[in-house]
Structure 1
Amino acid sequence: MQQIVNFLFKNSITLLFLLLLGISLSFTIQSHAYHRSRTITSANAVTGYVYGQINKVEMYFSLSEENQKLASENALLKNMLFNKKDTVLATVPPSLGIYKVIPGKVIANSYSLQENYLTINKGTADGVKEDMGVVSSLGVIGYIEKTSKGYSTIISVLNKKFRLGAKIKKNNHFGTLTWNGKSTGFAQLVDVPRLATVVKGDTIVTGAESTIFPENIPIGTIEKVYIDKKTNYYTLDIRLFNDMTSLGYIYIMENKDREEIQQLQQATVPPNE
Structure 2
Amino acid sequence: MEDLDKTLDIMERDKCTSLLAENAVRVKKNNIKFTKKNMKHSQEHLDAQMVSYERLIRTLIKGLVTVEKKVRQKYLVPLDSVRANKLRASWNTEVECILEDLNKKYRSVHIQRKSVEEFDQKVSQVLKDAKISVDTEVTKLQEKLGEEIGTSEKIQPSELSRIYGLDESVLIDLQVIEPLQNLKILCNQLQGSGCDEGVLNSVDEIIKMYVKEVKAVESTVWSGRSADQRKEIKMRAAKLNLNLKEIVYSLLDLASQAILEKEKRN
Normalised by the shorter chain, which TM-score bucket? under 0.3
Greater share of residues in helix: 2
TM-score by length of 2: 0.26
Greater CA radius of gyration, 1 or 2? 1
